[in-house]
Amino acid sequence: MTPEMLIVLVVLGSTVTALTFDLLRMDLVALLCLLALGWSGVLAPHDLLQGFSSAAVLSMVAVMILGRGIAVTGLMERFARRVLQLSSSGSPSIVATVSASVGLLSGFIQNVGAAALFLPALLSIARRRNLPVSGLIMPVGFAAILGGTLTMVGSGPLIMTNDLLAAAGLRPYGLFAVTPMGLCLLAGSIIMFLVWGKRLLPAATADGSVSPLHQLMEAWQLPVSLWRCSIPPTSSLIGQTPESSGIWQRYQLNILALAHSDGLSYAPWRETTFQADQELLLLGEPPHVQAFSAAYGLVLADEAQLLYALHDPDQAGFAEVVVPPRSGLVGETLHGFGLRRHHALEPVMLFHHGTKARGDVTEQVLDAGDILIVYGPWERIRDLQASSQLLSLTPLPGQLRSDTKTWVAAGCFLLSIGLALAGAPLVLALLSGAAAMVAARVLRMDEAYQAVDWGVVLFLACLIPLGTALQQSGAAALMANGLLRLVGDAPVIVFAAALALLTTVLSLVMSNVAATAVLAPLVVALANSKAMDPRPLVLLVAVSSSNAFLLPTHQVNALFRGPGGYRTQDYLKAGGAVTALFLALVVPLFYLFYF
């Protein structure tokens, strides 16, 4: 063993230990790894900085920009709604549906692109169902990685497999040669999270944070149930108004929206006349809604598509606003201000002189410092804040969607995927799509910069040279040769298991393409010396390079780590289970299908 090998192995062990036990920030660990390789002289400056210009890092930057463009246009909202309609209220069925979708898509496009496409939908689903995002994102990310084993174009290692076989004078594999095994791996992961997901995944984000909106709802004990009621022709509510029906004083309910033949009206004002076949979206406690429906012969129905926006936390919700000292509302009422009639916002609660008031609070004369809870579209609340009459104390989530750019964003994403499928380098295809997003004004340039998680970029860029050091110093080949020769005389299935395990370990600390490039020639030479068929073994290496779940070093894991709020221990726990499942399935499946 040379001194360079020893230094690389020490740096490797220290890096893995620091990441495993979260001794330092993930990006700082990677930076220290980079500096150690540089100051030790193992890598020249050119090789040391290659990660910052690598295709993997630039592809990650482009994917983040494409994902932000998809998110701000609401492109995946239709998918999110469909998933919620097909799935039950719990997260397991949602995880299974989305995982199957992203996994199948990953069989034909690069898995990081498929993951970026589905990330906005996952975040939206989590907000709509009030589910911890940490319980959704990781299983879907793992499915995206496993989806890359469905076809011979699903991942970089599988794409290069036929080239490696051709270089060795061996017959290549067909496009769907790996599909049966890939389907088993994907299905196994989905089933595992369906059965043991609650035990494997963190119940909440790692920092235990609660969104400002949830803090507001809990602090004020606000009702969170939305009910849709239709008015049949026989209802006694026909011809009455919100004021005359007693919906505020008697039933303590709020009308958030009224659907009628002319469209949708938010927060209908007190003189609105109810008519047959209208639909009401009510906010309140179940007993009050049921009493109101029974009194007026209303029909409780399922969620209406027309009223869907108010169920979308990205579009509407509670806001806490305060009356500033110089506001024109001081000494005025909300009725006189026209909160419902002019701003289409529903007042839910008023905190006046230390007293909370529910029901119809619009006749209360307001003073400076009064706090009001309103419910309605964020756009309306932003307009209200712009008037300086009321100031919002609630951080308004997200940004305004540019629905007019939805299909432009879709075209930009499809452009990048089409270029990649046509044979263009992946990094060039993704950067072209990202540039098109900005050129088409789906995103501003400053928004594109903000879309990039620079901590993830630094992490990947600083770890890539570690793989280079393992390869150039000969440490990777030394470990591979030692293990493969140790089991060279063992039965084929034992040799295959050792090969899958070795590939898994190398793929955690160097790119899966590099791991395949290092191991494939060694496997071919050793198989020929043992009179074994090398083709299935090379394919096993390429597939096993996707077994990268233990650490957030894979591109998909790095992309999802931030939104999911995961720690390295979360990957060790859930990823360890998937890694064990992968190894338990891949070896017998290969022995069954390919030997």
DSSP 274: P
**Residue 204 confidence (pLDDT):** 56
> Which of the residues in the chain have pLDDT under 70?
74-78, 80-81, 84-90, 127-128, 130, 203-225, 301-315, 395-404, 484, 488
**Residue 90 confidence (pLDDT):** 62
Intra-chain end-to-end CA distance of the chain, in Å = 35
Within 10 Å of residue 27's Cβ, how many Cβ atoms?
19
Nearest to 253 by CA among 323, 348, 180: 348
**Residue 407 confidence (pLDDT):** 85
Q: How far is CA 422 from CA 150, 417, 419, 536, in A?
A: 19, 9, 5, 28
- Fold match between 222-311 and 316-392? yes
Instruction: Give 113-148 pLDDT, tens digit per residue.
Output: 788 778 877 877 776 676 788 888 999 999 999 999
**Residue 38 confidence (pLDDT):** 94
Q: Are 368 and 327 in contact (CB under 8 A)?
A: yes
DSSP 140: H
**Residue 94 confidence (pLDDT):** 86
**Residue 7 confidence (pLDDT):** 93
Q: Are 114 and 122 in contact (CB under 8 A)?
A: no
Q: What are phi and psi of 488, to 5 degrees?
A: -60, -35
* CATH 3.30.70.1450 corresponds to the domain 222-311: yes
The CA distance from 309 to 324, in Å, is 30
| Region for residue 263 given its phi and psi (left: phi exceeds 0; alpha: psi -120 to 50; beta: otherwise) | left
Query: Could you tell me the residue ranges of all domains in the chain?
Result: 6-206+416-593, 222-311, 316-392
Instruction: Give 433-472 pLDDT, tens digit per residue.
Output: 999 999 999 998 998 998 888 888 888 889 888 878 887 8
**Residue 307 confidence (pLDDT):** 45
**Residue 573 confidence (pLDDT):** 93
**Residue 209 confidence (pLDDT):** 46
- Please list, in sequence order, all residues whose beta carbon lies within 8 angstroms of the beta carbon of residue 441, skipping any fewer than 6 positions away: 405
- Please list, in sequence order, all residues whose beta carbon lies within 8 angstroms of the beta carbon of residue 58, skipping any fewer than 6 positions away: 427, 430, 431
* CATH 2.40.50.1070 corresponds to the domain 316-392: no
The kind and range of the H/E element at 282 are strand 279-283
**Residue 361 confidence (pLDDT):** 84
**Residue 187 confidence (pLDDT):** 96
**Residue 84 confidence (pLDDT):** 64
The model's pTM is 0.68
